[in-house]
Amino acid sequence: MRDYTKFYIDGQWVDPIQPKTLDVINPANEEVAGKISMGTAADVDKAAKAARKAFATFSQTSLEERADLLERIIAEYQKRYGDMADAITEEMGAPASLSQRAQAAMGLAHTQTALAVLKSFKFVEDRGPTRLVKEPIGVCGLITPWNWPVNQIACKVAPALAVGCTMVLKPSEVAPFSGYIWTEILHAAGVPAGVFNLVNGDGPEVGAAISSHPEIDMVSFTGSTRAGIEVAKNAAPTVKRVAQELGGKSPNIILDDADFQSAVTGGVRSVMMNSGQSCNAPTRMLVPGARMDEVIQIAKAAAEATTVGDPKGNAQMGPVVSEVQFNKIQKLIQAGIDEGATLVAGGVGRPDGLDKGYFVKPTVFANVTNEMTIAKEEIFGPVVSILGYQSVDEAVDVGNDTEYGLAAYVSGTDTAKIREVASKLRAGQVSINGGGGDLMAPFGGYKMSGNGREWGDYGFHEFLETKAMLGYAPKAAE
């Protein structure tokens, strides 16, 4: 049983101002795995003031000092790597193998990337007589989700630290263990007091307090579009910058000349990874209508080959994160059935042999139309919707016919055609023939998928202001 009932404020572990705890549930067995404290606006105020005080000095540190700090964080993270992976499996149900090779790995990788970017980042540029200076924006409020918990913490905290910002972090109360271990890592690495602060709590209380606090200069939020809208509304009166990475309903266009066995199987597996709980998952598979029967057989085999079970064992897919998510996914699967889509694999209920835990059947629907609920709403579970198209232009139109624009995918062998399709898709990232894994590539969305970009050097810009110093270089004497 994990007892994480203190907050981290001004370099110390402190009690919340008003004692109130929340049980954290292990989604694999529905048992209490630990407890955290639920903060209030008063805790946020205390943390924000500590961050403001620390900003006066931390913002003036040298690039070399901050690089040294990131190096120490990386060293401490490597010591705690196994603890981080175990925590993620326990808190949100990721299979142990996924936690080891991807979930925990991304936290380390983003920090290493921030260090590499920092070493060559240009904070100063001269344009004629004007000097342009990139300066830390100030105190940052960071609100992170449960589906890739330390990934999202690291891709915000590491660049914020790198450029000289201070911060208040609210990790998800559903999966808070990894955030605590992250904080212990930063403390052990010697992050100066007040630079990094952790307050647990829910969105309506702590999230709203962070978004609206006058001492917080920007807020970086990852989560649902609905919650992102609330963050923006709460931030508006203080005119702070808001960076948002929100929902997705990503199209996966498989062209007629693609290797269907590879492309369809890979598309299904990509959705099933992390139990479908990835905002950029390729959940809408678009295929030539004349080849629908062929696609159905391949997709059915891929889904039914996906093993589901104890995330501490060898299963490829664990549970979804909570009862709330489980019930939402079940409702949407039933909507697919009710609206006439062809159920190819899976369906409602738990997989056979699993009567406890929030396990969902790997589910595939075919003959889906873009007007159906399962084609429009972000399910955030292991559900693939297969849509048929008659022409490539139609595939692009259907692919773009969504309020989201986070990611898109294209498969085929004609390089010119693939690139043409990719250029027409309205999404922040387009993966070509399975291309991915570039930590320097900007990540973020069009439309209702948010604004701003994370990862690599683009992630730095979210935490910087630009100052123009006119007449910095005096005119040469005539």
Active site residues: 245, 279
Amino acid identity of residue 384, one-letter, is V
> By three-state DSSP, how is residue 69 classified?
helix
Q: Nearest CA to 27 among 207, 177, 226, 152?
A: 177
Report the C-alpha gap between 440 and 74 in whole angstroms.
Answer: 18
CA distance 190 to 426: 43
Q: How many residues does the chain have?
A: 478
102 DSSP 8-state letter: I
Closest CA to 316 of 268, 283, 260: 268
Nearest to 248 by CA among 276, 269, 279: 279
Strand partners for 12: 9
In the block, which residue shows the tokens 């598979």? 285
| Cα dihedral 62→63→65→69 (10° resolution) | 140
DSSP-derived secondary structure for 156-208: HHHHHHHHT-EEEEE--SSS-HHHHHHHHHHHHTTPPTTTEEE----IIIIIH
Whole-angstrom Cα distance, residue 451 to residue 464?
A: 15
- Both tokens assigned to 277: 């709980």
Using DSSP's 3-state secondary structure scheme, residue 24 falls into strand
